[in-house]
Amino acid sequence: MRATRPNPAASLPYSAARECEHRTVLFPGALYIGAATAALLAGPGLGRCVALATDRHPDPRLVKLVCLGAALLIAWRADGLLHGFALGTVALVGIAAGWIDVYQRRLPDVLILPAYPLAGALLIATGDPDTLLRAVACAAIAMALYGIGCATGQVGFGDVKLAGLLGLVTGWAGWEAAVLAFAMTAVAGGLQAAAVVAMGRKDFPYGPAMLAGAASAIAVEPWLGL
């Protein structure tokens, strides 16, 4: 469970409290606008990254739409600025890697691995040992579980590395978010597998299901009262 955050305006004089509330209203608005702007600017670059890696060009409108959705979700649900930057890093990497996985059934190390030290540095910068230990534990557990799947041929090794990264940032938010992300990924992957079988195919990229599961968990967790 998360502790209830105190309201800084509660102990202020009336005029100061009104000013604090006014700034609180304005700041989220500016945050969402900034996040949306950054997403729309990042979209073309991510599309070019995918094109360079695969010689295939994703629909730029769809890339921008996915970037916009990710940015607004991060602005809404990030647990502070540092967590927001970490989620943003993983989102940028995940969007590009997910498209490459769709096209070529691989999650490039050149994208996934550098995100670990970046997210880790932001996590350490919080100065919160409990959050650090929880996030690292979630990453390790996720990699261990997916490692079993890799050993049995159910997922690829790229999925194992992506699982650790997603475990790190969802575990940063809390145990509940990490567990829910794993469950939502299983649901998304199951639906995708059923659709693939119905179309008479045998293999499918699991990376997009993992990313969708993590994003869904971050989005719905507050509504579940976890």
Closest to 216 measured CA to CA, from 115, 70, 108, 31: 70
Separation CA 135–CA 140 (nearest Å):
9
Q: How far is Cα 49 from Cα 29, in angstroms, rounded to an integer?
A: 30
Render pLDDT for 181-210 as a digit per residue (tens, 0 to 9).
999 999 998 888 888 888 878 788 999 999
Query: Is the separation of the CB atoms in 192 and 204 below 8 Å?
Result: yes
The secondary element (H helix, E strand) that includes residue 187 is helix 175-198
pLDDT of residue 5: 43
Q: What is the pLDDT of residue 226?
A: 55
Asked if residue 8 is part of any domain, the answer here is no
Q: Which residue has the higher pLDDT, 6 or 123?
A: 123
Which of 117, 106, 122, 166 has the alpha carbon at shortest distance from 141?
Answer: 166
Q: How confident is the model at residue 223 (pLDDT cuts 50, 70, 90)?
A: confident
* Residue 142 in domain: yes
Asked if residue 1 is part of any domain, the answer here is no
Instruction: Answer yes or no: is 4 within a domain.
Output: no
In a domain, 79, yes or no: yes
Average pLDDT over all residues of the chain: 87
Question: 120-162: per-residue pLDDT in tens?
Answer: 999 999 999 999 999 999 999 999 999 999 999 989 999 999 9
Does the pLDDT at position 69 exceed 60? yes
Number of domains in the chain: 1
- pLDDT tier at 224, thresholds 50, 70, 90: confident
Radius of gyration of the chain (CA): 19
Full DSSP string of 20-86: HHHHHHHHHHHHHHHHHHHHHHHHHHHHHHHHHHHS----HHHHHHHHHHHHHHHHHH-SSHHHHHH
Which range of residues forms the domain containing residue 173? 16-224
Q: Has residue 10 been placed in a domain?
A: no
Predicted pLDDT at 225: 63
Whether 3 is covered by a domain: the verdict is no
At residue 42, the pLDDT reads: 95
- Give residue 199's pLDDT: 84
pLDDT tens sequence across 72-117: 999 999 988 999 999 999 999 999 999 999 999 999 999 999 999 9
Residue at 7 is within a domain: no
